[in-house]
Amino acid sequence: MSLALLLGALLAAACVVLVALPYLREPQPADDALEEPGELERRHLELSEVRDRALAALKELEFDHRTGKVSDEDYRALVGPLRREAAEALRALEPRAGARTRVSDAQRG
């Protein structure tokens, strides 16, 4: 009986070490480096940040208006520029409509 317990404990310890081994190793420097984003990816990230900031500001403005912190007059003055900024960023992030039309035409054949 004690031999079975000893073998079971050894097997459990071996399993724990086997599972934990990848986490105990130091990462290789080549695996740990991030690549510098390209120009297109950098531009996409910038536009995404502009879009996210504008949409967050719109959400906050809407909330403040509904709770009475922002008057109707101030709301009307602030909402337009924020909507334009968000719309411009969204348009810039969308694939070009002309490219979609050409692909659709090519698929119809």
Backbone angles phi, psi at 35, to 5 degrees: -80, 145
How would you write the chain as a 3-class SS string? CHHHHHHHHHHHHHHHHHHHHHHHCCCCHHHHCCCCCCHHHHHHHHHHHHHHHHHHHHHHHHHHHHCCCCCHHHHHHHHHHHHHHHHHHHHHHCCCHHHHHHHHHHHHC
Considering the domain boundaries, does residue 108 fall inside one? no
Considering the domain boundaries, does residue 27 fall inside one? no
Considering the domain boundaries, does residue 72 fall inside one? yes
Considering the domain boundaries, does residue 65 fall inside one? yes
pLDDT digits (tens, 9 = 90+) for 10-38: 999 999 989 988 888 876 666 666 778 88
- Which residue segment(s) compose the domain that 67 sits in? 40-103
Considering the domain boundaries, does residue 109 fall inside one? no
Considering the domain boundaries, does residue 61 fall inside one? yes
Considering the domain boundaries, does residue 73 fall inside one? yes
Considering the domain boundaries, does residue 95 fall inside one? yes
Q: How many domains does the chain have?
A: 1
pLDDT digits (tens, 9 = 90+) for 69-100: 999 999 999 999 999 999 999 999 888 654 44
pLDDT score for 13: 93
